[in-house]
Amino acid sequence: MQLDSVIGGFLITLFSIPLYGFGLVFLIRKMALNEIEFIPGVIAILILLGMAGLTLSSPNPYVPGIMIVTVISLYATLPFAQTQLGILEFRRLNAEEIEKLIGIVATRPENHAAAFQLAEALYQAGFRGHAIALAENASANLDPTVNPVTMTSMKGFFIKEEQKLRRWKQQGGPPRLFAAVTCPHCKTSNEPGWVVCKKCRQPYLLETILKGTGQRRFLGRVLIAWILVAIVAPASAWIAVAFPGAMAALAIPTGLALIGLTLFWLFRAPAGDQTARVSEL
């Protein structure tokens, strides 16, 4: 019996060293690269070390297995985090495109192509009212006069854009997607159609979009999700083992539901944001 215990402890130790070592190296590297804020990173490291200590030293035979399953569950969220990071990167690129187009439209309002492109980018970012108003303004300023030589008109060049505008207006959406946006600089409320703030002339839409594209903020959310899994998963498993019966039957499903709802809330897209769907195309 003692020999079996020694062999079991050796195997757990052998398996735990690379398992926990990977997590520690991963967190330290991200903190060194300034991709994870210091306090969330330290909390995650302390939790991981605590779980390693319980795995290696707990007298309860169930604890090492619970801890190892929990850590593996944490690592299983890495693909999910990578997918969310890809969506975040797509939003960041969309924000860069919006910044460039706002500069063009603000200085050259007669550039209808840039106006339609900006409307498309704003629509994908969830600012449907502003996108529609901008596209309507560009459409209204298109010259319908047909050139007798080329037999084309300025309006004819943008048939697809006007078709898209009609589709946007038919789709509609919740009122909040068509509401005025408050400028983060001067707190002025800007109705749909304003490319820059009507008072301070700052690119208020861009500032609003950039709030949700910070990588450090995103990784902080990932750490919160990992901390939640690290707490809820072993707690649910312990309840299932310690309290047989109805409570045991409810422990795991309840824990999974709590984790799922929290992940949904942490990584939910801004209202109307379609970058997740577009990035998959």
Domain finish residue from 210, 227, 245: 210
- Please indicate, yes or no, whether residues 30 and 110 belong to a single structural domain of this protein: no
Q: Tell whether 205 and 122 lie within a shared domain.
A: yes
Which of 178, 210, 242 is at the close of a domain?
A: 210
Per-residue confidence (pLDDT) for residue 116, from 0 to 100: 93
Query: Could you give the CA distance from residue 108 to residue 95 in angstroms, rounded to a whole number?
Result: 20
Concatenating the DSSP letter of every residue in 241-268 gives HHSTTHHHHHHHHHHHHHHHHHHHHHTP
pLDDT computed for residue 276 by the predictor: 43
* pLDDT score at 117: 92
Indicate whether 180 belongs to any domain. Answer: yes
Where does a domain end: 193, 210, 227?
210
Same domain, yes or no, for 191 and 260? no
The confidence score (pLDDT) of residue 132 equals 92
Asked if residue 101 is part of any domain, the answer here is: no
Whole-number Å distance between alpha carbons of 234 and 6: 24
- How many domains in the chain? 2
Domain assignment present for residue 266? The answer is yes
Quick check: is 267 in a domain? yes
135 and 173 in a single domain? The answer is: yes
User: 188, 197 in Cβ contact below 8 A?
Assistant: yes
Q: Could you tell me the residue range of the domain that residue 244 belongs to? A: 2-76+214-279
d(Cα 225, Cα 74) in Å, to the nearest integer?
9
pLDDT tens over the chain, length 281 residues: 454 555 555 566 777 788 888 888 888 888 888 877 788 788 888 888 888 887 888 777 767 777 777 777 777 776 666 676 666 777 777 788 888 888 888 888 889 899 999 999 888 888 888 899 999 999 988 888 877 777 778 888 888 999 999 999 888 777 877 888 888 889 999 998 888 888 998 888 888 777 755 556 666 777 777 777 777 877 777 777 777 777 777 877 887 788 778 777 766 655 444 444 433 43
Same domain, 153 and 227: no
